Structure 1
Amino acid sequence: MTHPRGSAAKSAAMSAALSGAVDLSALKARADAARTQPPPPPAGVTGPPGDGGGAPAPAGAVFDVTEATFQTDVVERSLEQLVVIDLWAEWCGPCKQLSPVLERLAAEANGAWVLAKVDVDANPRISQLFGVQSIPTIVAVGGGQPVDAFSGALPEPEIRKWLSSLLDALRDKLPGIRAAEEANGGPVEEPEDPRFVEAEEAFESGDFAGAQAAYERILDVEPANELAKTALSQVKFTARAEAVAPDAVAKADAAPGDLDAQLAAADLEIAEQRVEEGFARLVDTVRRTAGEDRNRVREHLVALFELFDPADERVSKARRNLAGALY
């Protein structure tokens, strides 16, 4: 399962799907076939089209990208430098909260990474390429391939930690990172919160009870700490999922009236990225039950929703189906 820290906890399914599974070069071929005339260069950029079919990569820390300029501005640039893609739309409220934060952080980075902004309405093939379920979605690209992603408007501290971990992981692979940092006096180390370090170390060692207790201690002091809330949900789920037998789905299908079997099977389906199947199983179980049994299933399903971005279409659909099953 995904480490319960920062964005990864909110986007486990997305990170797993992106890992080595997206061929960005395919977008260039589709864009080349779709256009009949060379596109105009992005605003503020002049010069003839490059080999990738778009304008030369812009020099700024923040720039707009289209399907025609994606190969040059993102894929080719990412061979030297970390490129963070902001998939947004004008009508998206959370995008308007997240984008200014990313733009400010990109400017502060002084070239250690750059922000490529993609309007998904104007460039649908890019969002289709990444299998985007909701926006805002943020995808980090390094070495010509996506390396991590998250969705939703995360708090700035979580975004900073996410970026810091990416720069640490890619510093020796992308020369542009080290060059930019050296030009600015070296990388800036983000201080670690010892409370989270304790929880994460317990999680990584398989001590789920210890990790849960550590996150609960944080929440006792800071009840509104979203990072701790998200991580706690992930820890609880991981502990359950790892205890589920591999044949849990088959057992549940053979015994539709066994409540424990249905809950275990749903956990396994979520862990295996069969999200819609897991949600549908519990919605159907709600329909077949009543009283305390029904409430138990409902609470289990709602806890599973918390593992995902609230704007995820799969969550939205399951919430509607749950409401229909209850009322």
Structure 2
Amino acid sequence: MAASQWVVEGTMENFQQVVVDGSRERPIVIDFWAPWCGPCRALAPLLEKLANEKAGEFLLVKINTDENPDLAQMFQVEGIPAVFAVRDGQVVNNFTGLLPEEQLRAFIDDLSAEAPAPAEPTPLDQAVELEAHDRGAAGNAYRAMLATAPDDPAARVGLARVLLSAPGNEPQAIPLLSGVDFGDFATEAQRLKAIIYLREVPHADADLAAAQTAPTAEAKVALARILAARSDYTGAMDELLAAADDDRQLGRTAVRDLMLKVFEVIGPRSPQTDDYRKRLQSRLY
């Protein structure tokens, strides 16, 4: 990342201050990227060039999706580079992929237009915003929504997501994810169910240490289950690929089944999913 006062690194820790609060002073442009993403590397210098040219008309916040998956999930990022323009705490524009410089300039110039009066934030907007910096307050906000509308799918999914951000809350999250039509929130509800499913495997430190001692393909699958239960999805998928290298038949059954479940969690159309899907297929066919 080029050194500039107009380009900063975004994390979960500084998101509230830099993005949410900062967007009330000037527009924020968020660039979701990853080191392995070629189009991201092509887009980055264009965005940084415009940030320096505009000299403070907007702030460019670069967020590494590998290091900040929670922020990527919050914005429902399914492909990178993904760019979001935020003003007054609200997303006002976005695009995915690599744009030519002319179109990118038009995207930035639109931010300089006179901003409309911000809409009054809804309870859901407030709860989602709280998730970035105060999970306890976010949980209370979702509970308040459910007190008046018990079948609200957004509140059910939101509260389940907050509960699952810490281990041990799976029994409380399970009933929130069934019994209603989730509509637009069905994909997120299914992702959270997949997290709960993966966490059913005992995954304490002692379980992890025991699983790391056996070298067989079956043991690698068992280790992958524990890593996935501990939310180490990349580590789990690497173990699954290693198991498929050792035993192609196992790769077509247990390895594939568990890999698909992990894909549900990290995003079935995410670049990381596409990468590991191709790597598994190359081992099996």
TM-score (norm 1): 0.43
Q: Which has the larger radius of gyration?
A: 1
Q: Which has the higher contact order (CA 8 A, sep 6+)?
A: 1
TM-score (norm 2): 0.47
